[in-house]
Amino acid sequence: MLASPEETASDIWNRLTTRDEADEQRPAPAHPTVWLEDKFDGIRAQLHRSAGRVEIYSRDLKRITEQFPEITTAAGELKDEVMLDGEIVAYAEDRKLSFFDLQKRLGRRDQGDLFISSSITVRYVVFDLIWQNGAGLLHEPLEERREKLEKLALPPLLKRIAVAEAASETEVEAAFHAARRNGNEGLIAKDRHSSYSPGRRGKSWLKLKKAFSTLDVVVVKAEQGHGKRSHVLSDYTFAVRDEHSGASR
């Protein structure tokens, strides 16, 4: 299930608290709130745990199990058979790394030279439970899926995403800035009553991202890519000029 982009906190608030004709059967809440989750800069992935087997699949349905053996091993400790939706995130000294750090793992089976430093860890941040012990949960409301997720015993390296509620567009904006201060991309806002619609970019999940400030830079170095990008240049190094001294950095 995908999220549709919105440009402002006001757009998020109005979209999720204003009923349209399709929502006439749903009573309007006396004090509406918006369900918020931080948007991580990682790799979106589903984790499937069945009896004696664990698999991880990327958003484009590619099997990436071998690229993340530590998550696969941890998921093997789950007592329930489940399908989880979430984000793979890399950390170093409690600081989140970027998607580009994780991307180097994709398409590579030899992990010997990846993440050599013992200070770098990979975690799977779970934000949805869509199947459990033979029962499909796609058509259950998000808040009921979350209740089941809260009761699920998660092993180390698997972590439930934190959910916050905002009672105004001002609180949505404040949550966005808090997410950015925590090193995340922005926010995902969700309709707590929504079912799970695979492959659909509807209006039940909304994402709020804002462009970073821009700089004029010059490319001074490029390295050979990895995996699927091995035939192109990647990992660019940029330089900027100091306006006062004229030196480049």
Q: How far is CA 196 from the centre of its chain?
A: 16
Is a pLDDT exceeding 80 seen at residue 26? no
Kindly report, residue by residue over 179-232, the tens digit of the pLDDT: 999 888 899 999 999 999 998 788 899 999 876 667 788 899 988 887 777 788
pLDDT at 55: 98
- Which DSSP helix (H) or strand (E) runs through 45? strand 43-50
pLDDT digits (tens, 9 = 90+) for 131-165: 999 999 999 999 999 999 999 999 989 999 999 99
Per DSSP, 33 falls in state: -
Residue 113: its pLDDT value, please? 45
> Ramachandran region of residue 94, left (φ > 0), alpha (ψ -120 to 50) or beta?
left
Q: Does the pLDDT at position 112 exceed 70?
A: no
Question: What dotted CATH number matches 2-23+32-208?
Answer: 3.30.470.30
Give residue 140's Cα distance to chain centre.
21
Domain ranges (residues) in the chain: 2-23+32-208, 216-249
Confidence at residue 2, expressed as pLDDT on a 0 to 100 scale: 93
What pLDDT does residue 225 have? 81
Residue 214, CB-side half-sphere exposure with 13 Å CA sphere: 4
User: Which range (46-55, 106-115, 234-243) has the least confidence?
Assistant: 106-115
CA 219 to chain centroid, in Å, comes to 29
Res. 35 pLDDT band, cuts 50 70 90 = very high
Task: Judge whether 228 counts as a catalytic residue.
Answer: no
pLDDT at 1 over 70: yes
SS3 for 100? helix
pLDDT tens digits along 50-70:
988 999 999 989 999 998 999
Task: Give the pLDDT mean for 108-117.
Answer: 47
Q: Tell me how far apart the alpha carbons of residues 189 and 229 are, in angstroms, rounded to a whole number.
A: 33
**Using CA atoms, how far apart are residues 2 and 205, in angstroms rounded to an integer?**
7
pLDDT of 75-102, one tens digit each? 999 999 999 999 999 887 667 777 776 7
Please pick, among 39, 104, 190, 207, the residue that the annotation labels catalytic: 39
- pLDDT value of position 111: 47
